[in-house]
Structure 1
Amino acid sequence: MASFPITLTRHIIEKQAAHPAATGEFSALMVQIGLVGKMIAQDLRRAGLINILGGTGKTNVHGEAVKKLDEIANETFLKVFHYSGLVCALASEEMEKPVHLPENCPHGKYMLLFDPLDGSSNTDVNMPLGTVFSVLRYEGKAGLPSEAELIRRGTEQVAAGYLMYGSSTMLVFTAGRGVHGFTLDPGVGEYLLSHEHIRIPAKGKVYAVNEGNYHKWPAGTRQYVDYLKVSDKATGRPYSTRYSGCLVADVHRMLLGGGIYLYPGETDKPEGKLRLLYEVNPLAMVVEQAGGRASTGTMRVLELEPKGLHQRVPLLIGSPEDVSQAEAFIQGKR
């Protein structure tokens, strides 16, 4: 008889059993994140039929046009975690300030930061989309956490991961002891373990970058991308380019197949585009736990001391050898 597939719930409970002091809150938190993914995936499947494509006419804190699905995904997180008893504060790329949940305090042990719908420019054309999340522990015994308590280095994350919405819906996460991927079986409504102990190859043959920005990049970045295109069998070049417009989808490709994703700083915008707390830190934790690297070009992402809730940083992420090589070009060592 074939073995029964491992569900997300069973996987979490089994891991929890290895920690006698565990009280079950983290397990419940991950199940709730899985629920958010199911609800967003359902909306995405029906988006073209129930008039939730297109924009809202609003702009977010970053000055970007808000899509209807951005707003729906953000509201889904808020609805699921209200009265959950798990999370005492939520911070989102779509919200200027954190949302505090006094009904979950003081027993709520966690704070959750998230990008509710990554790649939302893809919503109207049925391309891949994602959700990114970062989990922090809240140690406060009295009162609600301040905004400053959410602004922490990536090394302080207790868990991180992403949901990817494509031909299937996947939940990939780490709690600091390896990376596991679960695929949603829509027939039974359960996430099933499909990718256990993911390990990223040391080197890849694929790169992902928005080359429309080529002439905005510093010389070292341009030289690195040019280098990847030169044919040289000894070094496995040329690399193929794969860029979807969805950070989650592109990083997922690198995680499974190797290679490098870049969203570098620009000459006039050295801070880059991606948000450190909502996108970069959680993906960096996942990739590092799988044996990869994540860098700003000059330092390890997870060691960067954040200055603000919506801080932006450049990002090189993927196979360790590829990231190290990109750093050498950007730092003028090649």
Structure 2
Amino acid sequence: MSEVVSAIVDVVTETAPDVRAGLTGRREYETSENPSGEQMLAADRHADELLEDRLLAIDGVASYASEEREGIVEDEESDGGLHVACDPLDGSSNLKSNNVMGTILAVYDEPLPAPGRALVAAGYVLYGPITTLVLARDDAVTEYVIDDTDEGVERRVVEEDVTIPSDPVVYGFGGRVPDWHADFEAFVREIEDELKLRYGGAMIGDVSQVMEYGGIFAYPSLESAENGKLRLQFEGNPIGYIVESAGGRSSDGERSLLDVEPDRLHQRVPVHVGNTELIERLEGALD
């Protein structure tokens, strides 16, 4: 299993420069929508197809799923192995304004849809001024820089044993303020007097701020959408796994995201991640 996980991480690393290079010229929306009813950019489809082809070519990867496709793609020749779920281009709506985006990876040892406790690795690639990979594996988090050199794609360690700083600095919350529930809004009014607002419209960028500076990110339950916007398999579970591996907490408002039982592939879930004390305060405020 360990060798297969390493091969998956290598493929995501090697694919990251191709995803980034493929953004140019793919800023237009397609006529089709993804299974969550969101319009897809050509860049979404391009990233999804690259990852599907390359990840399923790994011996030991039994299936691939992404938020851009309805069902699970299985390797018919595989008689077992790991199951990969991806958000190929998180924050793709930021492409038109040339802001941050990312790729989210989740590796499960159970068939999809699977609970977060079945994760054996999770990570995200951030396409910012530089390309980085934050990877959680074996209860530890490592940050890498991905360089596309003349000799090939290189992944080098920036920081080992990444932990969320104990003195939180930033917060970012998704959804429209008039759509927030009253108890969540009351919690926000407390937090905004303590922390600095950092919200960029791509979850992966906002979570990266929390990982670097400490704080809290949430896309909560809304008046118009009780389960929020983010998907458990592709966003909630892997981000919860990374944050908890870095010493923080995740929550759907009541329990760890990793303890939420899935009932369908594209299931949505309220997502709250960050410093433990902030998540505990949030859960108390939502009671």
Give the aligned partner of residue 59 of structure 2: 85
8 Å contact 1:113–1:134 — kept in the other structure?
A: yes
8 Å contact 1:209–1:262 — kept in the other structure?
A: yes
Give the aligned partner of residue 161 of structure 2: 197
Report the CA distance shift for 1:92/1:33 in structure 2 as closer, same or farther (over 3 A): same
- Structure 1 distance, partners of 2:134, 2:27, is 26
Q: Percent identity?
A: 32
Give the aligned partner of residue 32 of structure 1: 11
- CA deviation vs aligned residue, 1:108-133 (integer Å, no higher than 9, x gap): 62110111100011011110001111
Give the aligned partner of residue 36 of structure 2: 62
8 Å contact 1:207–1:259 — kept in the other structure?
A: yes
Report the CA distance shift for 1:24/1:126 in structure 2 as closer, same or farther (over 3 A): same
Following superposition, which runs of at least 4 residues in structure 1 exceed 3 angstroms of deviation?
none
Instruction: After TM superposition, list the pairs within 5 Å mapping 1:100-119 onto structure 2.
Output: 100-103=74-77, 105-106=78-79, 109-119=81-91
1:156 to 118, 128, 134: 118
- Structure 2 distance, partners of 1:77, 1:229, is 39
- Structure 1 distance, partners of 2:180, 2:130, is 35
Give the count of matched residue pairs. Answer: 285
Report the CA distance shift for 1:155/1:82 in structure 2 as closer, same or farther (over 3 A): closer
- CA deviation vs aligned residue, 1:281-322 (integer Å, no higher than 9, x gap): 001000000000000111111111111111001111011111
Give the aligned partner of residue 178 of structure 1: 140
Give the aligned partner of residue 184 of structure 2: 221
Instruction: After TM superposition, list the pairs within 5 Å mapping 1:140-289 onto structure 2.
Output: 149-187=111-149, 189-210=153-174, 213-230=176-193, 237=194, 239-289=195-245
- Structure 1 distance, partners of 2:270, 2:69, is 21
- Structure 2 distance, partners of 1:267, 1:293, is 24
| Displacement after TM superposition at 1:270 (Å) | 1.2
| Displacement after TM superposition at 1:153 (Å) | 1.2
Greater Cα offset, 66-75 or 260-269: 260-269
Give the aligned partner of residue 330 of structure 1: 286
Matched, 1:74 2:48: yes
- Structure 1 distance, partners of 2:163, 2:90, is 23
Secondary structure at the counterpart of residue 95 of structure 2: helix
Q: TM-score, normalised by structure 1?
A: 0.82
| Displacement after TM superposition at 1:191 (Å) | 1.1
- Structure 2 distance, partners of 1:307, 1:28, is 29
Secondary structure at the counterpart of residue 124 of structure 1: coil
- CA deviation vs aligned residue, 1:18-44 (integer Å, no higher than 9, x gap): xxxx67222222211212222212223
- Structure 2 distance, partners of 1:23, 1:92, is 22
Matched, 1:314 2:270: yes
| Displacement after TM superposition at 1:196 (Å) | 1.1
Structure in which a larger fraction of residues adopt strand: 2
Report the CA distance shift for 1:28/1:229 in structure 2 as closer, same or farther (over 3 A): closer
RMSD: 1.5
Secondary structure at the counterpart of residue 186 of structure 1: strand
8 Å contact 2:170–2:209 — kept in the other structure?
A: no
Give the aligned partner of residue 8 of structure 1: none
- CA deviation vs aligned residue, 1:99-153 (integer Å, no higher than 9, x gap): 11224x12x6211011110001101111000111110125xxxxxxxxxx31221
Secondary structure at the counterpart of residue 280 of structure 2: helix
The structure with the larger Rg is: 1
- CA deviation vs aligned residue, 1:46-97 (integer Å, no higher than 9, x gap): x0xxx31121121111111110100001001112124322311101101110
- CA deviation vs aligned residue, 1:168-196 (integer Å, no higher than 9, x gap): 11111111331001101233520110021
- Structure 1 distance, partners of 2:278, 2:156, is 31
Q: TM-score, normalised by structure 2?
A: 0.95
